[in-house]
Amino acid sequence: MLEVREIHTFYGLSHILFGVSLSVPPGRVVCLLGRNGAGKTTTLKSILGLAPPARGKILWNGEEIQREPAFLRARRGIGYVPDDRRIFADLTVGENLDIAAREGPGTVRWDKDKVYELFPALRAMDRRKGGLLSGGEQKMLAIARALMTNPLLLLLDEPTEGLAPLLVQSLGERIRRLKELGLTVLLAEQNIRFTLGLSDYGYVIDNGRIRCEGPVAELMENEDVRRFCGL
Ligand SMILES: Nc1ncnc2c1ncn2[C@@H]1O[C@H](COP(=O)(O)OP(=O)(O)OP(=O)(O)O)[C@@H](O)[C@H]1O
Ligand SMILES: [Mg+2]
């Protein structure tokens, strides 16, 4: 579904990604593991077009999209949940979802009712202002909002960051459910334990380079991975 080939991405003159390649087959949960500053967010932004790569290719079902603006990539069905959530603080939970709603290409057909089934806690907060939600609730809302665009692929940037252990577990169950429903996910994470049992395959990024890849269970056994993930 998605193939990233040898991309090099810069912020101004700073060279951040050095030939990153990865592939995400349909229906899979693939993770991108790495510690702070490794280049996870930059990789997701390169895929979406918010930090377009200077070199390399991004293929969406075989078609080159690396020169397309972000809104066109989003329209193709690439959904994005940024690490800083960016929900609308002054809108209610329901309104946050309503304004995100779009006829995307995804096969699940998400609407408000369906996302509330996935996140029952949000249903109870339908009329609460987004800014009054806890950090964990805002994370759920950010995911719910991305689902409302009916994506084929969801780019999830460090969803567990700052979450209490119980919420991490419940988030894991939701992502597993999304996978059962056929959604494809690329998950950027530092928490390798969270991705174990959730993710089919992982890539480890460090200093803007992919250092190793493999099934997550195998990666966990790997000394280098421990080092690159700071385990
Ligand atoms: N807008 C920017 N301008 C310049 N440098 C940036 C910018 N954003 C990120 N960087 C640098 O790019 C490198 C990779 O950052 P990135 O945010 O992709 O890492 P990350 O793996 O997502 O880290 P974290 O786990 O902290 O979110 C870092 O060295 C960071 O300082
Ligand atoms: Mg990041």
Q: At 51, which CATH number?
A: 3.40.50.300
Atom 26 in ligand 1: which residue has the minimum CA distance? 36
In the reported structure, the alpha carbon of residue 17 is separated from the centroid of ligand 1 by a whole-number distance in angstroms of: 10
Write the pLDDT tens digit of every residue in 82-116: 988 788 999 999 999 999 999 988 888 899 999 99
Q: Is the separation of the CB atoms in 3 and 13 below 8 Å?
A: no
Collect residues with CB below 5 Å from ion ligand 2.
40-41
Arithmetic mean of pLDDT, 69-91: 92
Mind listing the pLDDT tens digit for each residue in 6-28?
999 999 999 999 999 999 999 99
Top-confidence residue, 86 or 158: 158
CA dihedral 151, 187, 166, 112 (to 10 degrees): -10
Cα distances from 160 to residues 114, 136, 168, 221, 231, in angstroms, run 22, 9, 6, 22, 16
Structural domain including 113 reads: 2-228
Count of the separate structural domains present in the chain: 1
Cβ–Cβ under 8 Å, residues 134 and 86: no
Which of the pair, 222 or 203, is modelled with greater confidence? Answer: 203
